Amino acid sequence: LSPHLENPRRGTLVPIGGAEEKVRDAAILKGFVDLCGGEGARIAVIPTASSLPDTGDQYVALFESMSARASSLAFDTRADCDNDDALATIDRADGVFMTGGNQLRLSTTLGGTAVSKLLRRRFADGLHVAGTSAGAAFLSEHMIAYGDEGSTPRSDMVALAPGLGLLDGVIIDQHFRQRDRLGRLLTSLAYNPCVIGIGLDEDTAAFLGPDEKLVVRGSGAITIVDPTNMEYSSMDSARRHEPVNIVGVRLHVLVEGGTFDLRTKEARPPQTPGA
C-alpha cells in the first residue's frame, strides 16, 4: 500500500532544483544522458509545464549536443495524451525529461491520462525519469502545487495536490534556497509527518536509484527534512495563515557526493568511510 517501491528493476529518478547549468559545465544533464546509456540514448522531452513555445526544442538541442537522440513531445491538451506516436516514443525511450514551468500544467494535462499510466508502468520497468523545477515537483505522489515564501511554517502557506506518483513517501521542493522555501516544505510535512521533505537548490539534483539511496550532484545543496521522529505538530489547531508548532524534525544539508538513504533515513557527507 503506497510503500516505497522496493522494486530493483525500476529506473532512476532525477529531480533537479531548476536553473541547471546547460553550457559551461552541464554536469547534471550529462549525468542523466550517461545514466540513460550515453551516446545514442533515446531521451523523450516533455515540455508541458512550460508556457514558452521553444522549451522542448532547446532541451532536444542540448541532449543531441551530448550525443543523445532526443525528441520533444507536444502534450498541450489532455486529448494530446492519447496520441499513439507520442506514446510509442515514450515506450521506446531510455529516459524521459520533464522541463520546468508550472507543475499544475503537468498535473492538469497529464494527470490520469494514458501518458501518466505509461510513465508509471515504464518507470517500474527501468525507464529513467528526470525533471527540473516544476518537472521535479511533479514526480512524487504528493506534490507542492504552489505556496508562499518564508522560512517559518504557517497554516495555508502551501497547496498540496496529487503528482505523477513515481515515488511515495517524499515531497520535493525546488529553487529551494533561492526562493526561501523552508517554511512551505515544513508546512507540507506538518499536515502529516509520513513523508520526507527534499528541498533542491538550483543547479542541484538528486540521483535516486532503485536502492532508494539519493546521491547529490550539482553546485548547490539538498536540504532533507525528516519528520520520522516528529514529536508534535499543531497543524490540527492552527488558525489559517498563523505560524505552526513543530517539534523534533531532523534536518540535513548535503552537497555534491552526499547521500541520503530513504529506507534507513541515514544521511552521509561525501567521502565518509563506509559511505
Binding site for a copy of itself (CB under 8 A): 1-3, 5, 77-79, 102, 104-105, 107-109, 111-112, 116, 120, 123-124, 141-143, 145, 156, 159-163, 165-166, 168, 190-195, 227-228, 230-236
Question: Which C-beta is closer to a copy of itself: that of 56 or that of 193?
Answer: 193
Distance CA(39)–CA(162), nearest Å, equals 35
- Of the residues 72, 133, 140, 188, only one is catalytic, namely 133
Question: Which C-beta is closer to a copy of itself: that of 103 or that of 204?
Answer: 103
Q: In the annotation, is 149 catalytic? A: no
Question: Which C-beta is closer to a copy of itself: that of 227 or that of 258?
Answer: 227
Least distance (Å) between residue 106 CB and a copy of itself: 8
Distance CA(264)–CA(26), nearest Å, equals 31
CA 44, 49, 50, 55: dihedral to nearest 10 degrees?
A: -10
Exposed/middle/buried for residue 163 (C-beta within 10 Å: 0-12, 13-18, 19+)? buried
Region of residue 218 (phi > 0: left; psi between -120 and 50: alpha; otherwise: beta) = left
Least distance (Å) between residue 119 CB and a copy of itself: 9
Cell digits of residue 243: 505560524
Least distance (Å) between residue 239 CB and a copy of itself: 11
Helix (H) or strand (E) holding 27: helix 27-35
Q: In the annotation, is 140 catalytic? A: no
Q: In the annotation, is 175 catalytic? A: yes
Q: Which residues are catalytic?
A: 133, 175, 202
